[in-house]
Amino acid sequence: MGQSDTRTRIQGAAAVLFRRYGYAATGLKRIAAEAGAPFGSIYHFFPGGKQQVAEQMIRTSGTEYGRMVLALLDSTPDPVESVVHAFDAAAKDLAAADYADACPIGTMALETASSNEVLRVATAEVFEEWVGTATRWFGRWVAEPGTARSLACSMVMMLEGAFMLSRAGRDPEPLRVAGRSMADLLRTALAQADED
CA distance 26 to 76: 38
* C-alpha 171, offset from chain centre: 19
How far apart are alpha carbons 65 and 67 in whole angstroms?
A: 5
User: Whose CA is closest to 183, among 44, 37, 83?
Assistant: 83
- 124, 129, 131, 132: CA torsion to nearest 10: 140
Orientation angle between helical segments 28-35 and 49-74, nearest 10 degrees: 60
Q: One digit per residue, pLDDT tens: the chain, 196 residues?
A: 456 799 999 999 999 999 888 899 999 999 999 999 999 999 999 999 999 999 999 999 999 999 999 999 999 999 999 999 999 999 999 999 999 878 879 889 989 999 999 999 999 999 999 999 999 999 999 999 999 999 999 999 999 999 999 999 999 999 999 999 999 999 999 999 877 6
Asked if residues 20 and 100 have their Cβ atoms less than 8 Å apart, the reply is: yes
Per-residue burial over 128-143, b if 16 or more Cβ lie within 10 Å, else e, is eebbebbbebbbebbe
Does the pTM surpass 0.85? The reply is yes
CATH topology for 55-195 is Tetracycline Repressor; domain 2 (1.10.357)
